[in-house]
Amino acid sequence: MTTSPGPPAPKAGKDTVRRHNLSLVLRTVLDEGETTRAAVAARVGLTRAAVSSLVEQLLAGGFLTERGKTFSGQAGRPGTALRAAATGPAGLGVEINVDYVSVCVVDLAGADRVRLTEHLDNRNVPPGEVLERAARIAARTLTSAAGQELDAVGVRLALPGLVSGGTVRQAPNLGWNRVAAEDLFGRALAALRPERPALPVGSDNEANAAAVAELWFGAGAQREPVRGFLYLSGEIGVGGAIVVDGELLRGAHGFAGEIGHVVVDPQGPVCRCGSRGCLEQYAGQAALLRGAGLDEAAGVPGVTELERRALDGDGRTVAALESAGRMLGLVVSGAVNLLDPEAVVLGGIYRPLMPWLGPAVNRELSGRVVSGLWPRGGTRLRASSPSGDAARGAAALVVRDVVADPARYAGR
Amino acid sequence: MTTSPGPPAPKAGKDTVRRHNLSLVLRTVLDEGETTRAAVAARVGLTRAAVSSLVEQLLAGGFLTERGKTFSGQAGRPGTALRAAATGPAGLGVEINVDYVSVCVVDLAGADRVRLTEHLDNRNVPPGEVLERAARIAARTLTSAAGQELDAVGVRLALPGLVSGGTVRQAPNLGWNRVAAEDLFGRALAALRPERPALPVGSDNEANAAAVAELWFGAGAQREPVRGFLYLSGEIGVGGAIVVDGELLRGAHGFAGEIGHVVVDPQGPVCRCGSRGCLEQYAGQAALLRGAGLDEAAGVPGVTELERRALDGDGRTVAALESAGRMLGLVVSGAVNLLDPEAVVLGGIYRPLMPWLGPAVNRELSGRVVSGLWPRGGTRLRASSPSGDAARGAAALVVRDVVADPARYAGR
């Protein structure tokens, strides 16, 4: 993830504590869903007067709304119910993948409010053109969001490749090498909205963004949250992300998680990454479609057809999925031996295919994970949550920046 | 790692800050090697009077010594030179491996002061007996240490298996399953030293302990420290550990790092862990010896002979090492794609064999790590430091606990 350039930060100094407390109060309201000034004061350990002053600033900045009167649940006079604003500051997430672009706007509470997805082939198209397409889709999404009075304060791109310092170092399945994605997208979007100030643009790997969504809106947001997991994103490529103690493990260059390029067979087919026999060659979308006798370039309709055939019990399809599941299980067992995660989450196209992939993956895991740690029939392997995907995760990363320092975004 | 039971902690409360500051001052002196009260005060931001009082307590507790007069390098009167005591509180590390036991005592500065290693075969010996052997070796080491006025305040075991909650869940190459190692060792050691209070015993995986030693005394202690690396420990088994931002990545159950059981060939030979074709079967000590035509049970003399033959340019030996290096490289490339570490460190028997293993490992890495991240001839692959091993790492973990809260250990 790159640091979002964002609006210039106010000078540090005497207002640092107040800015910190603004964030603390906003986070507390977001955590509670709906609460009162008194309850916030009790929880964060500030005086009621201090909290009231901070709440006024958050109301004025459009971060909070209040409505009606509610009883605090304790003795005393009723308080006003505070909650995160459903309008105002929002995050824009833009997933650019090989055969689709998906854009979403999330509000301060993380809810997915506007979504626009277009299926199109981004292969063999110059990167600048793909980013212009994505900017057009983003601009239309922002127009819809404005209709709901949501005002995006930043953009995060989610891209299927090695992303660092605003640049895609390599995205083999898109055929990108050293593409200044943030800059190109930002300029294209600004050109489409000349009347608006340019939005700061950040970028991240798509599997990282999807794993963040799983952490905040899926497995990590359950009653018994999963705070450490290995995430696999099945697409044209096979992306991956590692979450440890509620944080992404990014690695020395920001490139951790590339499980799609772990080798299954050193003599296997050449991969777009330059190596041979990578997992992607056995368990990527093209391999699944090809194995089932479908056109490997059939895209989303192909995956839908694959699922339909599997549901029909088509032998070749089921066998192809089982074979891919074995390969996934082989590589995932190694990753589990290395990382000892609480859970393994399969997302992207793997989610609907779990009924057929899952048993084969679990079989390999229970046979290969060091002793007794992967009991058969356990629940450590799971499909990704339907409420989390890379675009929402990317948008939520923008919102996280807002919540971490609301003062920086007030009065935009 | 288990939490060391240790002496009972003093009640928290008004002395918490003082205890924290005691640790801070001790750590500062350790970091500097030799310093003055004035320099400590300047560095930690406490008053000279407060630091003097804390230093008196650390001198009385035997944690620090002072000698002569030194000039502080600044204007003013000379200060007394403070340094860590070379006698007094110390840590005991006990590595129990398949064909040796190595015990060491380190002082507060982390120096390896007494070392006793015995080569013996721990296979097919009941675990209790192995732990009694180790306790006898430890008792002799403690006697030597006492002759140097070093007084171990705790023990940490380093074991080649899955270690959690004081128990070895599984150590395939020792043939151990659910062995209460801490308890058995502690009782055996106490029985050998009935006149002394029992030492608290902790335990850890041997590769984790070796990685800690590499972090504190090897790659992590250089002028440009490596704070994140993948560590491989070549022994009878192949152990592994992952260091991220200067901390061990332990995983959900404490079992992360098991790279020896990452699969090279799903149809390969059965491994002691129950899986097939694990890295250990291709790059463990037995495989190296067998590949070179030596007796696979030849132990340390066998490895010495292997190195001698490789130095002589013996074709079969060089080919066996190159083949093992390819397998290592294959698995390590997957781990690097997953983790994106700054460096990969090869320790244990791999260290002396690096001239022959290294090129093959690097070749696989440069061909298989995602684009351009593993340039040929780079320095990201390195042999472990000769000054770091599992016994020293384990002993240093005891010392770390002491330095973190010296008050808890004072007056023992």
Q: Does A239 touch chain B (CB under 8 A)?
A: no
Q: Does B363 touch chain A (CB under 8 A)?
A: no
Copy the structure tokens of residue B188.
């055996």
What is the CATH topology of the domain spanning A88-208+390-409?
Answer: Nucleotidyltransferase; domain 5 (3.30.420)
Copy the structure tokens of residue B394.
């384990």
| Amino acid A2: pLDDT | 37
Distance (Å, rounded) from C-alpha B202 to C-alpha A77?
55
| Amino acid B11: pLDDT | 46
Q: Does B280 touch chain A (CB under 8 A)?
A: no
| Amino acid B69: pLDDT | 61
Contact B25, B35 (CB under 8 A): no
Q: What is the pLDDT of residues B236-262, one digit of tens each?
A: 899 999 999 999 999 999 999 999 999
Q: What is the pLDDT of residues B87-116, one digit of tens each?
A: 999 999 999 999 899 999 999 999 999 999
| Amino acid A6: pLDDT | 43
CATH of domain B89-208+390-409: 3.30.420.40
Confidence of residue A240 (pLDDT cuts 50, 70, 90): very high
Q: What is the pLDDT of residues B26-37, one digit of tens each?
A: 999 999 989 999
Mean per-residue pLDDT, B188-198: 95
- Which residues 298-337 in chain A show a CB within 8 A of chain B? 326, 330-331, 333-335, 337
* Residue in B111, B103, B105, B104 with CA at minimum distance from that of residue B83: B111
The mean of the pLDDT values for chain B is 90
Q: Which residues of A touch B258 (CB under 8 A)?
A: 337-338, 340, 370
| Amino acid B13: pLDDT | 56
Q: Which residues of A touch B171 (CB under 8 A)?
A: none
* Domain A16-84 CATH assignment equals 1.10.10.10: yes
- Which residues 365-394 in chain A show a CB within 8 A of chain B? 367-368, 370-373
| Amino acid A11: pLDDT | 46
| Amino acid B298: pLDDT | 86
Confidence of residue B160 (pLDDT cuts 50, 70, 90): very high
Q: What is the pLDDT of residues A182-222, one digit of tens each?
A: 999 999 999 999 999 999 999 999 999 999 999 999 999 88
Handedness of CA B319, B325, B328, B331 (dihedral sign): negative
Q: Does B355 touch chain A (CB under 8 A)?
A: no
Q: Does B175 touch chain A (CB under 8 A)?
A: no
DSSP state of A94: E
Q: What is the pLDDT of residues A305-334, one digit of tens each?
A: 999 999 999 999 999 999 999 999 999 999
Lowest mean pLDDT among A6-10, A199-203, A325-329, B394-398: A6-10
User: Is the pLDDT at A385 greater than 80, yes or no?
Assistant: yes
Q: Which of A258, A367, A373 lies at the smallest CB-CB distance from B253?
A: A373
User: Is the pLDDT at A335 greater than 60, yes or no?
Assistant: yes
Q: Answer whether A334 sits within 8 Å of B263, measured CB to CB.
A: yes
Q: Which of B276, B326, B338 lies at the smallest CB-CB distance from A258?
A: B338
Distance (Å, rounded) from C-alpha B152 to C-alpha B137?
14
Q: What is the pLDDT of residues B10-66, one digit of tens each?
A: 444 557 888 999 999 999 999 998 999 999 999 998 999 999 999 999 999 999 999
φ/ψ of residue A351, rounded to 5: -60, -55
Q: Which residues of B touch A344 (CB under 8 A)?
A: none
User: Is the pLDDT at B71 greater than 60, yes or no?
Assistant: no
What are the residue boundaries of the structural domains of chain B, listed by start?
16-84, 89-208+390-409, 224-383
ipTM comes to 0.84
Q: Does A70 touch chain B (CB under 8 A)?
A: no
Confidence of residue A299 (pLDDT cuts 50, 70, 90): confident
Mean per-residue pLDDT, B389-397: 96
φ/ψ of residue B333, rounded to 5: -60, -40
| Closest CA–CA distance from residue B340 to any residue of chain A (Å) | 5
Q: Does A255 touch chain B (CB under 8 A)?
A: yes
Within a 13 Å sphere around the CA of B262, how many CA atoms are in the beta-carbon half? Answer: 31
Confidence of residue A139 (pLDDT cuts 50, 70, 90): very high
* Domain B224-383 CATH assignment equals 3.30.200.20: no
A interface test, pick of B371, B373, B379 with most A CB neighbours within 10 Å: B371
- Three-state SS for B74? coil
Confidence of residue A411 (pLDDT cuts 50, 70, 90): low
| Amino acid A134: pLDDT | 97
Distance (Å, rounded) from C-alpha A108 to C-alpha A116?
19
User: Is the pLDDT at B379 greater than 80, yes or no?
Assistant: no
Q: Which of B254, B256, B370 lies at the smallest CB-CB distance from A261?
A: B370
The mean of the pLDDT values for chain A is 90
Q: Which residues of B touch A273 (CB under 8 A)?
A: 370-371
| Amino acid B6: pLDDT | 43
Q: What is the pLDDT of residues A80-100, one digit of tens each?
A: 899 999 999 999 999 999 989
| Amino acid A14: pLDDT | 58
Instruction: Mention every residue, 6+ apart, whose C-beta is less than 8 A from residue B301.
Output: none
- Three-state SS for B14? coil
DSSP state of B284: S
Tell which phi-psi region holds residue A372, choosing left (phi > 0), alpha (psi between -120 and 50) or beta.
Answer: left
Q: Answer whether A372 sits within 8 Å of B169, measured CB to CB.
A: yes
| Amino acid B374: pLDDT | 82
| B351/A79: higher pLDDT | B351
| Closest CA–CA distance from residue B129 to any residue of chain A (Å) | 24
User: Is the pLDDT at B7 greater than 50, yes or no?
Assistant: no
Q: Which of A169, A337, A341 lies at the smallest CB-CB distance from B261?
A: A337
Confidence of residue A375 (pLDDT cuts 50, 70, 90): confident
* Partner residues linked to B263 by β-bridges: B278
Q: Answer whether B338 sits within 8 Å of A240, measured CB to CB.
A: yes
Q: What is the pLDDT of residues B265-295, one digit of tens each?
A: 999 999 988 899 999 999 999 999 999 999 9
Confidence of residue B297 (pLDDT cuts 50, 70, 90): confident
% of chain A beyond a pLDDT of 70: 92
DSSP state of B99: S
- Which residues 37-56 in chain A show a CB within 8 A of chain B? none
* Residue in B96, B88, B170, B83 with CA at minimum distance from that of residue B132: B96
Q: Which of B257, B273, B370 lies at the smallest CB-CB distance from A255?
A: B370
| Amino acid A326: pLDDT | 97
Domains B16-84 and B224-383 share a fold: no
| Amino acid A5: pLDDT | 42
Q: Does B297 touch chain A (CB under 8 A)?
A: no
Q: What is the pLDDT of residues B117-139, one digit of tens each?
A: 999 899 889 999 999 999 999 99
